[in-house]
Structure 1
Amino acid sequence: MIISTDGLGRDFLVGSRLRRTRVTAVADVTLDVARGEAVGFLGPNGAGKSTTIKMLTGVLVPSAGTARVCGLDPVRERKALARRIGVVFGQRSQLWWDLPLAESFALHGAIHRVPPARHRERLEECVELLDMAAFLATPVRQLSLGQRMRGEVTAALLHSPELLVLDEPTIGLDLASKERLRTFLSAVNARGDVTLLLTTHDLPDVERLCRRVVVIDRGRVLVDDDLATLRRRFAGHRTLVVELVEPAGPLHGLTGVVDVAVEAQGLRQRLEFTGATTAAALIADVARRVEIRDVGVDEPSIEDLVRTLYASS
């Protein structure tokens, strides 16, 4: 396992010297992440995500439980662990503000003692896939946010880490920059080069990159399952969008359908249905009543899923 925790917890003392209160930020987090996985680590603000990440990277000492990351104790073997992981924080930079981006990359390679040939190969790959050639000579302080985030991800990957921890990596980015980063990270993970642990409030990041989702709230894990299973268990209603050859009135009375919306003068209908039927069965029912030109299924978003989880917790 790349990450393995057992009963991991962290308490903080808050208040004045005379009156302090113990607050539990993380409680009894037991988690295993296998090599090559891409895991979305989700939760509202204050859920315990950042505290957990700080314990996994050796920044914070756990109050309870144990953690192993890349086979190492994050606290006792923090320096060795730093050579085997990469971390990207969306609102904190690991680049040198006044240096050209290329010199920041050279310094990172030197710090991690990456052999020159391997450094050059990895950098050329990142520059090509993230389209950074045009601004390598630009000081970091002059880069746009999207350009800087591409640089942050590259810096975190130059030493070929086994684990890449991404904390809000697309925060504030425009749509084009977000898509470029998602495509790159998906490709890197698909090759098995690196395991991804992603925390984000930008749920399309999770939908694009992760097959598994861990949801945490009030310091405790609510759900740990693959994305497809979570959709089936918690996402509720789905919508079948039907394009018709000829206009028709609302297609009421179909098994499992709880709402019908008619659009385009009856040429398009949206049929909201429950688990009482399947998309295939519903399409067959519709086809027996009208002639179909095209169909599609709108799946509930991860945002809907997480909202349902919070409501039921």
Structure 2
Amino acid sequence: MSALIVADRLRRSFHLSHRAGLLRRRRTEVVAVDSVDFTVNRGEAVGYVGPNGAGKSTTIKMLTGILTPSSGSATVCGLDPARQRRALASRIGVVFGQRSQLWWDLPLSESFELLRSIYRVPREDHRKRLDECVELLELTPFLATPVRQLSLGQRMRGEVTAALLHDPELLVLDEPTIGLDLESKERLRSFLADLNQRGTTLLLTTHDLDDIERLCGRLMVIDHGRVLADGPLAELRAEVVTERTLVVDLVEPHAPLDGLPGVREVRTELGGLRQHLVFGRAETTAAALISAVVARVAVHDVSVAEPEIDEVIRRLYKRTSAADAVGDL
């Protein structure tokens, strides 16, 4: 796979001025992104997450040419974002959840037509892509509606369409589902998942971790301007969460299924009709545990509950904080 984004020791700092006396002011440096290294290959869907102030949006702004790095370098689609911003704009699409690229007082359809002219997209190609987005995102009922009259969910579907009309290689999404209702979120997620399956690379920053779970096979976690973890979500989950839970629905209520190999804890519900068996990843497998359960009791159904993504991220932060504390000793 070829690299579409390469960040090499990417750093961005800002200088703030503070009053230090009656007539004096002091300048201090605030590091927003601190020597970040990563590569995103074509066709990947990557979640880039962290708390407020972690450096997510600053990274995105450097990758899209809005900000110039203080040091280090970045290439996106083989271009330098800061020096070749105009050329890059024709090859990427960007959706910011709290900023609009649509014209507020124009009907949605006229915004799309203006963007066709700005990007110089051939009319036939524009019509083909627009028709596809209109169908998949169900835009037809409000194409003639001024943007200012659209609901947030309708506008966000319009924003995604606007970002895709010039057929970008990379789609960068910053909080794309912010404020959306459940139905609008699912419609947008389904569309983006299909888009990625067809080859468009996705880079997603969000506080809605269900977006990551639904769309991204790879997760990068950033805090205080540094990447704490980077890898397939399944591997990070297995790395930091050593336990899984087998949920067993029994044919008849039963006493807690204690004493099974590898089981660390048993929790019961519904008078023992449903049991949650917490087991260590290193001590047994789900298949072996299911066999042991079936040998003891009659089972109606079983499922394996994986730890939630927010628990994975919380433990990644905790692990890094502990390592930093040891390093300071």
Residue 219 of structure 2 aligns with an amino acid whose one-letter code is: V
Tell me if 1:196 matches 2:198: no
Residue 114 of structure 2 aligns with an amino acid whose one-letter code is: L
Tell me if 1:94 matches 2:94: no
- Matched residue, 2:74: 67
Tell me if 1:20 matches 2:27: yes
Shift of 1:235: 2.5
Shift of 1:233: 0.4
CA displacement 1:175-204 (0-9 Å, x = unmatched): 100000000000011011x11000001001
**Which residue, out of 283, 293, 299, partners 2:290?**
283
Question: In structure 1, how many angstroms separate the alpha carbons of the residues matched to 2:272 and 2:228?
Answer: 43
Shift of 1:266: 2.0
Question: In structure 2, how many angstroms separate the alpha carbons of the residues matched to 1:256 and 1:197?
Answer: 39
Question: In structure 2, how many angstroms separate the alpha carbons of the residues matched to 1:154 and 1:205?
Answer: 18
Tell me if 1:251 matches 2:257: yes
Question: In structure 2, how many angstroms separate the alpha carbons of the residues matched to 1:310 and 1:292?
Answer: 38
**Which residue, out of 300, 304, 313, partners 2:307?**
300
Query: What's the % identity of the aligned pairs?
Result: 67
5 Å-filtered alignment, 1:146-295, equals 146-192=153-199, 194-275=200-281, 276-295=283-302
Residue 11 of structure 1 aligns with an amino acid whose one-letter code is: S
CA displacement 1:223-278 (0-9 Å, x = unmatched): 11011111110133221111111221111111222221212222211112221211
Question: In structure 2, how many angstroms separate the alpha carbons of the residues matched to 1:253 and 1:3?
Answer: 51
Shift of 1:283: 0.6
Residue 10 of structure 1 aligns with an amino acid whose one-letter code is: R
Tell me if 1:131 matches 2:134: no
Question: In structure 2, how many angstroms separate the alpha carbons of the residues matched to 1:254 and 1:172?
Answer: 45
Structure 1 residue ranges without an equivalent (≥5): none
Secondary structure of the equivalent of 1:19? strand
Secondary structure of the equivalent of 1:5? strand
Secondary structure of the equivalent of 2:25? coil
Q: What stretches of structure 1 move > 3 A for 4+ residues in a row?
A: none
Question: In structure 2, how many angstroms separate the alpha carbons of the residues matched to 1:256 and 1:144?
Answer: 51
Shift of 1:18: 2.4
Question: In structure 1, how many angstroms separate the alpha carbons of the residues matched to 2:149 and 2:263?
Answer: 54
CA displacement 1:127-162 (0-9 Å, x = unmatched): 000111111111111111110100000000000011
Tell me if 1:109 matches 2:116: yes
CA displacement 1:106-125 (0-9 Å, x = unmatched): 11111100100000000000
Shift of 1:217: 0.7
CA displacement 1:72-118 (0-9 Å, x = unmatched): 00011010001111110111111111111111111111110010000
Shift of 1:163: 0.7
Residue 195 of structure 2 aligns with an amino acid whose one-letter code is: V
Secondary structure of the equivalent of 1:95? coil
Residue 66 of structure 1 aligns with an amino acid whose one-letter code is: S
Residue 251 of structure 1 aligns with an amino acid whose one-letter code is: L
Output the TM-score relative to the length of structure 1.
Answer: 0.98
Structure 2 residue ranges without an equivalent (≥5): 19-23, 321-329
Bigger mean CA deviation after superposition, 229-238 or 119-128: 229-238
- Matched residue, 1:3: 5
Question: In structure 2, how many angstroms separate the alpha carbons of the residues matched to 1:76 and 1:148?
Answer: 31
Shift of 1:287: 1.0
